[in-house]
A and B are shown apart, each in its own frame.
Chain A
Amino acid sequence: MIEERMETDVLCIGGGIAGLMAAIRAAEAGASVVVAEKGNVEYSGCGRMGNDHFETHIPEVHGPDREAWIEELLRTAKGEILIGKDLLRTQFLRAYDIVKLWDDWGIPMKYKGRWEFSGHSFPGRPMTHVKYEGRFQKKILAKEARKRGVTIFNRVMMRDLVCNGSRVIGAVGTHTREDKLFVFEAKAVVLGTGKCSRLYPPLTPGWLSNDPHGGSQSGDGRAMAYRAGAMLQNLEMPQRHIGPKYFTRFGQATWVGVVKDRDGRPAGTFVTKPDRRYGDMICEVNKLAPEQYTNAGKGPLYMDCTDIRDEDHAYMMHWMENEGYTAMTEYMAAEGISFKKHPIEFATYPLRGGGLIVADENAKTSMDGLYAAGDEAFGDISAAATFGYISGENAAAYIRVIGKKNIEKDNPVITETRRLIDELRGHENGPDWEETSVALQQTMSDYGGKIRNAALLKQGLQHLRRIRSKARNTLMAKNPHETTRCLEVLNLMELGELTFLMALNRKETRGLHNRPDYPFTDPTLNQAQVIRKIEDKAILDWKPY
Chain B
Amino acid sequence: MPPVIDSETCIKCSKCVEICSEDVFYGSKKGEVPTVTYPRECVHFNGCVSVCPVPGAIRLRIPLPMQLVYREAEPTS
Residues of A within 8 A of B (CB): 38-40, 42-45, 48-49, 155, 176-177, 204, 207-211, 214-216, 244-248, 300, 302, 306, 324, 326-328, 330-332, 337, 341-345, 434, 479, 481
Q: Given the known A-B contacts A43-B47, A49-B45, are A344 and B69 also in contact in the complex, defined by CB atoms under 8 Å?
A: yes
**CB distance B43 to A246 under 8 Å?**
no
A-B contact count (CB 8 A): 118
- Considering residues B49, B65, B66, B73, which has the most beta carbons from chain A within 10 angstroms of its beta carbon? B66
- Chain A proximity of B43: nearest CB distance (Å): 4
**How far apart are A350's CB and chain B's nearest CB, in angstroms?**
14
Q: Are the CB atoms of B68 and A40 closer together than 8 Å? A: no
Shortest distance from the beta carbon of A274 to any chain B beta carbon, whole Å: 16
Residue of A nearest to B59 (CB): A330
In the bound assembly, the distance between CA atoms of A187 and B10 in angstroms comes to 45
Q: Which residues of B contact A306 (CB under 8 A)?
A: 73
Distance A7 CA – B39 CA, assembled complex (angstroms): 37
Question: A345 CA to B67 CA in the complex, in Å?
Answer: 11
List the A side residues contacting B27 at CB < 8 Å. 479, 481
User: Does B44 make an interface contact (CB < 8 A)?
Assistant: yes
| B18-52 interface with A by 8 A CB criterion | 18-23, 26-27, 37-38, 40-47, 49-51
What are 27 of the A-B contact pairs (CB < 8 Å)?
A39-B22, A39-B23, A40-B19, A40-B20, A43-B19, A43-B45, A43-B47, A48-B45, A177-B23, A204-B65, A207-B65, A214-B45, A244-B68, A245-B68, A247-B44, A247-B66, A247-B68, A300-B69, A302-B70, A302-B71, A327-B44, A327-B49, A327-B60, A330-B60, A344-B68, A344-B70, A345-B69
B13 on the A face (CB < 8 A):
no
Q: Cβ of A40: which chain B residues have Cβ within 8 Å of it? A: 18-21
Quick check: B69 and A48 within 8 Å, CB to CB?
Answer: no
Taking the nearest CB of chain A, how far is it from the CB of B15, in angstroms? 10
Task: Decide: B41 and A177 in contact? CB cutoff 8 A.
Answer: no
Q: How far is the CA of A44 from the CA of B18 in the complex (A)?
A: 11
Q: Are A341 and B41 in contact (CB under 8 A)?
A: no
